[in-house]
Amino acid sequence: MTRHFLALHDFNEIELYGMLALARDLKEKQKQGIPHRLLDGKTVALIFEKSSTRTRVSFEVGIFQLGGHGLFMPSTTSQMGRGEPIRDTARCMARYCDGIMIRTYGQEIVEEFARFSDVPVINGLTDAFHPCQIMADLLTVIEHKRTWEGLKFAWVGDGNNMANTWIEAAAILGFELSLACPQGFEPDAKVMAWAHSRAPGLISLTTDPKVAVAGADVINTDVWASMGRESEQKEREKIFVGYCVDDALLDLAQADCIVLHCLPAHRGEEISDSVIEGKHSAVWDQAENRLHVQKAIMTSLIIR
C-alpha cells in the first residue's frame, strides 16, 4: 500500500524516530562526500500553490543529492491552477512520477491528491499542518539537546499550521508542550482534542507567553499572519502585541534554551532581532535540517 506523509498523526513514534535517524545518517554522508544516490532515476514533482524558499530549495537540492530529478511545478502554470480536478491531476502525475510534494491551502486538497495517487504524496505545508518542518525542528532539537525526553517546549504566537503540527508531535513523541496564543487564535480544536486523548496532561494552552516560556528548553514562534492571511496582518499586529520572543521573555526560560523559527521571520514582530541573531537561536541549523529530513522522508516513502 502506498504510504503518504500528510500529517504526523499517521505515524507512530518508532516510524518518526526511524526517519530522523535516517536523516542523521544522510546528513553525515553528505558532509563526508559519501554518495547516497537512493533515488537514482526517480522523479519527484514539487507542486506549489503558495510561495516558498526553503521548502523548494531543500527538496530540489535533496532530490539531486539522492540522484533523482525534482520537477518544480508552480500551480499557476499548470492546469491545476486553471481548475483541473485534483483527482485527475493526481492520477496522471502518479503515472509519471515516483513521488509528489504539494504545498497548498486546505488539508483536504493533499488528502484528495493522496487518495487518487498511486505514489507517495508529501505535505509541503497546508493551512492545517507543516509536518516536514517539524521533522527538521525535531532533528535540530536532537542535535542541540540530544533528546526531547524531559524537555519543556513552548509555542508563542498564532495557533497556526506550525502550532498544530507541534501539538501532534508532542502527543506522539511524549514531550511537554505549553502554547501561548491570543484569545481567538488558538490551535485547531480537533487537533487539541486528539492530542489530549492520546497524551493526557502533556499539552497546555494559555494566553500568557510568560507562562508558556517559564522554564522552557525549546521556544518556538512563527509569523502572526500566515500565507493566505496577509489581509489580516495589520489587525493581527494589534492583537499580538506582547507575543514577541524577545530577550525579556527568554530570561524566563532555561539558561541553555534554544529558539526555533521555521522562517520567514518578521523581526520586531514575533521575534526580536537580538533573539534571532543571538546565542540561543538555532534557526540556521533548523533551516539546514530541512534538506536532510526531506531526503529521509522521500527515501522512506519511495524506497520501501
Of the two residues 158 and 176, which places its CB atom closer to ligand CP in the complex? 158
Residue in the shown chain whose Cβ atom is closest to ligand NVA: 226
Q: Who contacts 39 (Cβ-Cβ below 8 Å, separation ≥6)?
A: 63, 66, 67, 68, 98, 298, 299, 302, 303
Give, as one character, the DSSP assignment of residue 154: E
Residue 216: which of ligand CP, ligand NVA, none does it interact with, CB under 5 to 8 A by kind?
none
Q: How far is the CB of 51 from ligand NVA (least distance, A)?
A: 9
Q: How far is the CB of 141 from ligand CP (least distance, A)?
A: 16
Residues numbered 191-230 forming contacts with ligand CP, rule: CB under 6 A: none
Residue in the structure block whose three cell numbers are 530540489: 60
- Give the total of residues touching ligand CP (CB under 6 A): 8
Residue 223: which of ligand CP, ligand NVA, none does it interact with, CB under 5 to 8 A by kind?
ligand NVA
What cell was used for 82? 486553471
Sign of CA dihedral 246, 252, 255, 258: negative
How much is the CA Rg of the chain, to the nearest whole Å? 19
Active site residues: 103, 130, 133, 222, 262, 290
* CA pair distance 178, 206, nearest whole angstrom: 8
Residue 211: which of ligand CP, ligand NVA, none does it interact with, CB under 5 to 8 A by kind?
none
Q: Residue 213: what are its φ and ψ, rounded to 5°?
A: -85, -20
Q: Is 165 in the site for ligand NVA (CB under 6 A)?
A: no
Give, as one character, the DSSP assignment of residue 217: S
Of the two residues 164 and 205, which places its CB atom closer to ligand CP in the complex? 164
Residues numbered 222-251 forming contacts with ligand NVA, rule: CB under 6 A: 222-223, 226-227
Of the two residues 38 and 162, which places its CB atom closer to ligand NVA in the complex? 162
Q: Is 160 in the site for ligand CP (CB under 6 A)?
A: no
Residue 53: which of ligand CP, ligand NVA, none does it interact with, CB under 5 to 8 A by kind?
ligand CP
What cell was used for 21? 535517524
| Strand pairing report for 99-103 and 43-48 | parallel
Q: 38 near 63, Cβ under 8 Å? A: no
* CA pair distance 171, 194, nearest whole angstrom: 9
Among 89, 133, 140, 294, interactor with ligand CP by CB under 6 A? 133
Residues numbered 262-301 forming contacts with ligand NVA, rule: CB under 6 A: 262
Residue 122: in which H helix or E strand, if any? strand 121-123
Residues numbered 29-88 forming contacts with ligand CP, rule: CB under 6 A: 52-55
Q: Residue 206: what are its φ and ψ, rounded to 5°?
A: -140, 170
- Interaction site with ligand CP (CB under 6 A): 52-55, 125, 133, 262-263
- Interaction site with ligand NVA (CB under 6 A): 125, 130, 160-162, 222-223, 226-227, 262
